[in-house]
Amino acid sequence: MSTERTQVLLSQEETVRQYEFIEKAALHVQRLKEELGRQPTCCVTTFGCQMNARDSEKLTGILERAGYQLIEEENADFVIFNTCTVRDNANQRVYGRLGVLNGYKRKNPNMKIALCGCMMQEPTVIEKIKESYRFVDLIFGTHNIYKFAELLNSTFENKGMVIDIWKDTDKIVEDLPVERKYPFKSGINIMFGCNNFCSYCIVPYVRGRERSRRPEDIIREITNLVADGVVEVMLLGQNVNSYGKNLEEPMTFAELLRKIEKIEGLERIRFMTSHPKDLSDELIQVMKESKKICRHLHLPLQSGSTRILKDMNRRYTKEQYLALAEKIRREIPDMAITTDIIVGFPGETPEDVEETIDVVRKVNYDNAFTFIYSKRTGTPAAAMENQVSEDVVKAGFDKVLKVVQDTAREQVTKYRGMVMDALVEEVNEHDTTLLTGRLSNNTLVHFPGDASLIGKIVNVSLDECHGFYYMGHMVD
C-alpha cells in the first residue's frame, strides 16, 4: 500500500480514537456540572496569526462537544491560551496574562489552565513554566494539537501538570470537530509547517516541516462548509505558493485554486501567505481569470535592500520583487497588495531602510504591517553580530511607518464614489445602526443596514474615505 494511503487509514483511526476521548471527557465535565450546580465554562484565548485562530476553532469545537459553555471572560472553569512566539512581545503578553489567571484559580479550585501553540515548542519556555507557573494543568505543542480531547481527558485523570510536546510530525488528522467563530466565513488549512528558514524566523522550528493536505480533503471540507452557510474561505499556509510539492501526486497552488473555484455556492476565496520567490505566472493567470479570488494579495517584502534580503535568506532581490509587483499591478490593476516589513534586522543601516522606503513608494502598498526585528533564540539571525541599537531601529521604524501610512491612505482613497460588493461581517461596534462589510480588496466599509444582512454580499457605494476605511450606503 502507498505511504499516503497508509497515512490516511492511520489518520481515520486516530479520528475515531479522539472522538472516544471526547465522550470520556464529557463524562468528567458532566460530573463537574453536577458538583458546581451549573454548566462548566471555557475560554479560548488566541495569540498570533490566522493559523492559530483556526487551531483555536478546533480547540473550541472539542471543548463544546465535551460539554463546556464558551465564554469570553478568562475566569472560566477551563482556560486555554493558544500562544505565538514570532516576536518576543507575544511571549511577554502570555506571561503577564498567566499571572492574572493564577489569581482566578485561587478563587476557583476547579479551574484548569492549559497552554498550547507555538511558544510551547520552545524548551526554554517549558522550563520557565515548570519552574515559575506551577498552577498550569496542561501543556502541549503544535504537532499534537489533534490529541487535545485525549489530553483534556488526562487533566481529569492525572494529578499535577500534564506535558506532551513533540519535536515534529508528519501526521495530518482530518475530520475533528470545529466550532467556527463566524458562520459565514472560515479559514482552511491547506498546508502546515514551513521549509523556508528565513534567518530571523522561528516558525519553521515551532511548526515543523512543510506538509500539504490532500486536495480531496480540502475540497470536501470546503464543500461541507459551504453547505453549512460559508460564503468566503481563507486558505491558510505559511507559504501557499509551494502547496502540493510533496504530495504523492504533486499539484500546484494554482491548480488547487482552479478546483476550489468550481465549488458551487462558494463566493469568495482568499489565501495567505504568498512568498514572493514562489509566486508563479500560472497563479497570476488564475487570479486574473477568477470570479471568486479576492482582489487582495499579501506579499511580504521584509526588506527592500538586496543585501539584507540575502542575509534574511529570502531568496529574491529588490529588483525581482519590484518586477513581480509591477507584473501583478499590470495584469490585475484592481488587486490590492499588502506586505510585512521588518526594521532593525542585524546589520541594517539607514541606507538599507531607504531601500525599503523606495520599494514602499514604488509598489504603493494598500496596507503594510511594519515590525521591529525581534531576536529569536535558535535562529541564525540571533547569532549574527552587529545587532542594531534600539534608537537606530526606532528612527528607521518611524520613518518607514510614516511612508507606509501615506501610501496606504492614498491607495484606499482611489475607490471613492465607486460601487463595490461587500460581505457584511457584523454590526458596527460603535454605532449599532451601521453594518461593517469587507470589500474584495480587504478594505472595510460601514453603512446603514440591518443585522439580518450579516453573512450576505451586498452592493455598497463608497461615499467617503476616512483614512483606512469607507463610509457608504447600500445600492440595489
Binding to ligand SF4, residues 117-156 (CB under 6 A): none
Cβ(52)–Cβ(117) under 8 Å? yes
How far is the C-alpha of 449 from the C-alpha of 147, rounded, in Å? 43
- Answer yes or no whether residue 190 interacts with ligand F3S by CB under 6 A: no
**Which residue in 97, 79, 57 sits closest to 138, CA to CA?**
79
Give burial (CB, 10 Å; 0-12/13-18/19+) of 281. exposed
- Answer yes or no whether residue 201 interacts with ligand SF4 by CB under 6 A: yes
CB of 244 to ligand SAH, least distance (A): 17
Per partner kind, with CB cut-offs from 5 to 8 A, the member of ligand F3S, ligand SAH, ligand SF4, none near residue 204 is ligand SF4
- Give the residue with the Cβ less far from ligand SAH, 151 or 236: 236
Per partner kind, with CB cut-offs from 5 to 8 A, the member of ligand F3S, ligand SF4, ligand SAH, none near residue 118 is ligand F3S
- Residues of this chain that bind ligand SAH (CB under 6 A): 86-87, 200-201, 203, 238-239, 273, 275, 300, 302, 340, 342, 371, 373-374, 376
Give burial (CB, 10 Å; 0-12/13-18/19+) of 417. exposed
- Answer yes or no whether residue 51 interacts with ligand SF4 by CB under 6 A: no
- Give the residue with the Cβ less far from ligand SAH, 49 or 66: 49
Number of residues that bind ligand F3S (CB under 6 A): 11
- Answer yes or no whether residue 86 interacts with ligand F3S by CB under 6 A: yes
Q: Residues 6 or more apart from 329 whose CB is under 8 A from it?
A: 335, 337, 363
CA angle 410, 415, 417 (to 5 degrees): 125
- Answer yes or no whether residue 145 interacts with ligand F3S by CB under 6 A: no
Cβ(210)–Cβ(194) under 8 Å? yes
- In this structure, how many other beta carbons lie within 10 angstroms of the beta carbon of residue 373? 22
Q: Residue 157 is which amino acid?
A: E
- Give the residue with the Cβ less far from ligand F3S, 186 or 374: 374
How far is the C-alpha of 81 from the C-alpha of 97, rounded, in Å? 9
- Give the residue with the Cβ less far from ligand F3S, 116 or 359: 116
Pick the stretch among 201-209, 245-253, 292-300, 326-334 that binds ligand F3S (CB under 6 A). Answer: 201-209
Query: Footprint of ligand F3S on this chain (CB under 6 A)?
Result: 48-49, 51-52, 84-86, 118, 203, 206-207
